[in-house]
Copies of this chain bind each other. A is one copy, B any other.
Amino acid sequence: MKIAILPGDGIGPEIVAQAVKVLNALDEKFELESAPVGGAGYAAHGHPLPEGTLALAKAADAVLFGAVGDYQYDNLERALRPEQAILGLRKNLGLFANLRPAILYPELAGASTLKPEVVSGLDILIIRELTGDIYFGQPRGVRECPDGPFKGQREGFDTMRYAEGEIRRIAHVAFQAAQKRDKRLTSVDKANVLETFQFWKDIVIDVSKDYPDVALEHMYVDNAAMQLVRAPKKFDVIVTGNMFGDILSDAAAMLTGSIGMLPSASLDANNKGLYEPSHGSAPDIAGKGIANPLATILSAAMMLRFSLGRAEQADRIENAVKSVLAQGLRTVDIHEEGTTKVGTEEMGNAVVKALA
């Protein structure tokens, strides 16, 4: 089993190093191979997703990804900016299913900006379609406005689109995930305004016939944003498109107050996947040894479960993380009075120790 290790920028290398340490501490050894990505890819090879990095990711059984982006790359032209690497990996690897759990660990309930009774025990799963929608639709660009009151002016434009098969496959992923949980699925759309999402809704309803055991509801995206704030625990699994999913999954993650704890998986049709923390590259704290490595370590656990068929090893890592939390160890982002503040390395070492 070969794992591509793409640390990226900012805190990426530090946190990925801890996850690698955890992987290396398992009995079974995996072949790990690193390559630069994002700003590091640009610095090394003039492109955020260098050919060699893409080739490695394609050849590997799974990809462990840190985070990309740093100040010095902010003014590059868009095609060369770090985040193009992540879009390129998703598209080239066909990673259409993004799974983002928003879980509030009981020990960290205080970290949320929401009242404890609103969020304690939160455990929702957001499934975001990741290779379609307005992220990749053509045509797009800046052109002369063809009609209407602004005719002749410049206008920016993009195309939102979803083909039937794209909606079907993500819907199947979502229904099957719901079957393994509380059997409730909320499909988020904007069918009252968008043709794309009226179509989305129609197809999801059609797919639902294969899953009579799952309770399906439909919710407009604006209402979903409200309900996430009002009563997030009412959700079980949420499925939505790429753009709405980008917004809602980040909002849901922030409800926990501990985004430094949240892993994510992006899967292709064969459960090959890219695994990364839900947070970003945090260049402001890079190199200080204070970043929370747990989201990345938990991403490695998701990788073992979904792509490498090693559910037991995944359980072990997840239990080790729970155990370090129970011991009261906290990086600065989740630190509270009465707990022990530790750095990135110490936290990684504690997880390794708890594995044993």
Binding site for B on A (CB under 8 A): 78, 81, 83, 87, 113-115, 118, 134-135, 137, 140-142, 145, 148-150, 153-166, 190, 192-200, 221-223, 225-226, 228-231, 243-244, 246-251, 253-255, 257, 259
Q: Shortest beta-carbon distance, A164 to chain B, in Å?
A: 5
Question: In the complex, which residue of chain B has the Cβ closest to the Cβ of A156?
Answer: B199
* A to B CB contacts below 8 Å, 30 in the list: A78-B192, A83-B192, A113-B115, A113-B229, A114-B115, A114-B229, A137-B157, A140-B195, A145-B163, A153-B163, A154-B163, A154-B164, A154-B199, A155-B164, A156-B196, A156-B199, A158-B161, A159-B159, A159-B160, A160-B160, A190-B246, A222-B247, A222-B250, A225-B250, A225-B254, A226-B250, A226-B254, A230-B254, A230-B257, A251-B251
Identify the interface centre among A118, A154, A223: most chain B CB within 10 Å of its CB: A154
Query: How many identical chains are in the complex?
Result: 2
Chain A interface, >50% SS class: helix
Residues of B near A78 (CB, < 8 A) are 192, 198
Residues of B near A118 (CB, < 8 A) are 113
Residues of B near A194 (CB, < 8 A) are 134, 140, 156, 158
A165 and B153 contacting across the interface, CB-CB below 8 Å? yes
B164 and A150 contacting across the interface, CB-CB below 8 Å? yes
With A150-B164, A222-B246, A251-B229 in contact, is A193–B135 under 8 Å at CB?
A: yes
Residues of B near A157 (CB, < 8 A) are 137, 159-162, 195-196
* Alpha-carbon gap, A165 to B252, bound state (A): 35
A155 and B150 contacting across the interface, CB-CB below 8 Å? no
* Alpha-carbon gap, A156 to B193, bound state (A): 12
Identify the interface centre among A193, A228, A231: most chain B CB within 10 Å of its CB: A193
Q: Shortest beta-carbon distance, A163 to chain B, in Å?
A: 3
Question: In the complex, which residue of chain B has the Cβ closest to the Cβ of A147?
Answer: B138
With A141-B195, A195-B142, A229-B113 in contact, is A155–B160 under 8 Å at CB?
A: no
Question: In the complex, which residue of chain B has the Cβ closest to the Cβ of A200?
Answer: B156
Residues of B near A225 (CB, < 8 A) are 225, 247-248, 250-251, 254
A250 and B223 contacting across the interface, CB-CB below 8 Å? yes
Question: In the complex, which residue of chain B has the Cβ closest to the Cβ of A168?
Answer: B153
